[in-house]
Structure 1
């Protein structure tokens, strides 16, 4: 059986035209709306896929950033701990050096202090000799207690000054001030019936120096 051609008869402005059956008519409004809807669905799908990829990239980037931050923070803490350790070690080393230096220089420092103090005392003796001598005598007399005072030996200048001034009042005792060239200004020696009380300036400095030296020698070794 031979194939037959089938024709359709569309109406074009009132005229019937025979066309092949394969002819496709122009798309209708409904077909256009369907196509637009499909395009919109496809676009939404693409946008959704893009958003998914963006969200995944954001999460991945955020995780990477957090890991990087944590790593840097850990490294910073490690460096800070290391620096703190170095700082503490430096302080410890400095303290050890300081203590050693002070220990080595202590005798010289004490000598310097005593020298400065002796000069200050010497200055006070020159400017206020009577007042200084009265204080020295009061201190020395505190050691006599019930002893009988025979004489008080002073430097020549101090003996003259004490004789000229009211001096020190000693109850029930007739005290003599004797000039002694071996005694320097500001000091005295009190002779009693039980011996002498040495309150010379030189003797006092010797006692002070000895006390400092004993204090140094008694320090425990590190």
Structure 2
């Protein structure tokens, strides 16, 4: 029975007291205590640690300086390259602007040359029309042209005046006035020429000729105005 067994065991222990000796297991009185580092060794270790930390800090600082220098160098190099590129672009733009200005100036001159020719042609055409209108209103107008022409050969003894047939009657009527412009005893011949236009004449002498035709006078006007 369980209860009975428990009583027997308990009684057995109570009836037979025994002495027990307690010992520390694994403990030996003769084991030496660990050696403690002296103060000098501690100082050396601390100094070494501090030096290592200083070296590390210096290395980190140098690494940072190198990185910053590289960044600054890269920045400066980038700025220099950008400046060179901008300068190249500026020069290219200036050259393009100069080319455009040269082209514009040449175009302007070309236009002006064309306008000048048109203006000269207009002036010559207007002068021709005025001469013809003047002749239609006053047939005597050709006389002034002939007088001016023969005045250039006033010392000649023989003078031939060639004029358009429609202008010849007017010149014949003015023969005395024309002779007065020449030397005494000069001989004046008035000859009709269908090849000449009205309003002008050719004055011929043995020593030379004076071209006072309308076409020649209009051409002189054109040249005076700078036309071709």
TM-score, L = length of structure 1: 0.46
